[in-house]
Amino acid sequence: MDKITISKPDDFHVHFRQGELMKAVLPSTLKWFGRALAMPNLRPKPVLDTRDAKRYRGEITAAAKEAGHPDFEPLMAIQLTDKTKPRGIKHAQQAGVIAAKVYPIGVTTNSDNGVRSLKSCALTLQAMQDCGMVLSLHGEKPGVFCLDREREFLGVLDWLVESFPSLRIVLEHITTFQAVAKVINLPETVAATITVHHLFLTLDDIIGGGLSPHNFCKPVAKRESDREALRHAVLWGNPKFFLGTDSAPHPRDRKECASGCAGVFTAPVAMPLLAQFFEEHAGKNWRKGLEEFSSLHGAKFYGLPKNSGKLTLIRR
């Protein structure tokens, strides 16, 4: 099979940045994806409310059009902070914002204005549940040993599920066996995105040979057993797991320096790598598995229609 066609994929976690950098990286997403959820942690000014989201959507749409993809649909998220009001959530939802993203404070690139305690955001979370906005979580506990941060974060999910039983929650870019197990064992309202690079990398690819800033992201890739759990989650076909590349470009001098930024820029190669992964590991029905993971499960969880377009992948 040297050519396969699937419904156009969605990337439910991507960093487009702004300005010239956005113009440089956006085509890599446009080439493969019909829609993409644009992460709101922009600098200096993050996407915090309806006005920010509309402006940012306009920037992305204009850049996509300029790049010859007028049909590309940016999916918008706002960043939830301690200051986000329930009213602001409802307003944003009406304007088409589909998710609010929570970064625990200081846990990754551009997260210094993150949330200190989800419990103090209860009314905002209630508003999200009421209007059907998805809670998107960077699932790492701050102040904990780097390799334990995701695992130690997972307990918050129990509180969230108990307190907001119909709030839809996405645990983003999971990296551990424990996160896979947790998401499977929680109700249908809880799902997770998995990146392409976490299907391929372990910590060995960052610190096991030479130090590799271009493989460094947060959460950092863990052990082989964790990678195996992610691979199984993807290959099972469980609709709780879907694609979010977390593709995150940085200028080279912000990676190859004394304090390298977290983030792996995978957009140009994510879909080919994912197709290769499914072909090698998913058996005869790998095309179906690839399509479900990258084009169907996420849209269904977010309550979006399947993309009308198609993507054809050709072996080179």
Give the tokens for residue 164: 């907001």
Shortest approach of its own copies to residue 209 CB, angstroms? 7
Return residues touching its own copies (CB under 8 A). Answer: 145-147, 202-204, 206-214, 216, 220, 223-224, 255-262
Three-state SS at 122: helix
Between residues 4 and 269, which has the closer beta carbon with respect to its own copies? 269
11, 52, 226, 246: the active-site residue: 246
In angstroms, what is the minimal distance from the CB of 215 to its own copies? Answer: 10
List the beta bridge partners of residue 314: 3
Q: Rounding to the nearest 10 degrees, give the CA dihedral for residues 142, 144, 148, 154.
A: -50
Which CB sits closer to its own copies, 57 or 138? 138
Taking the complex as a whole, how short is the minimal distance between the CB of residue 152 and its own copies, in angstroms? 13
* C-beta of residue 311 within 8 angstroms of C-beta of residue 5: yes
Closest separation in Å from C-beta 146 to its own copies: 4
- Considering the complex, state which of residue 158 and residue 204 has its C-beta at the smaller distance from its own copies: 204
Cα–chain center distance at 135: 12
Query: What's the closest the beta carbon of residue 109 comes to its own copies, in angstroms?
Result: 9
- Cα 6 from Cα 28, distance rounded (Å): 18
Q: What does the block give as tokens for 290?
A: 């690839």
246 is catalytic: yes
Comparison of 223 and 306: residue with beta carbon closer to its own copies: 223
Of 16, 84, 74, 12, nearest to 48 by C-alpha is 84
CB nearer to its own copies: give 71 or 204.
Answer: 204
Contact assessment for residue 228 and residue 221, using Cβ atoms and an 8 Å cutoff: no
- Contact, 260 vs 213, CB < 8 A? yes
Cite the active site residues: 246
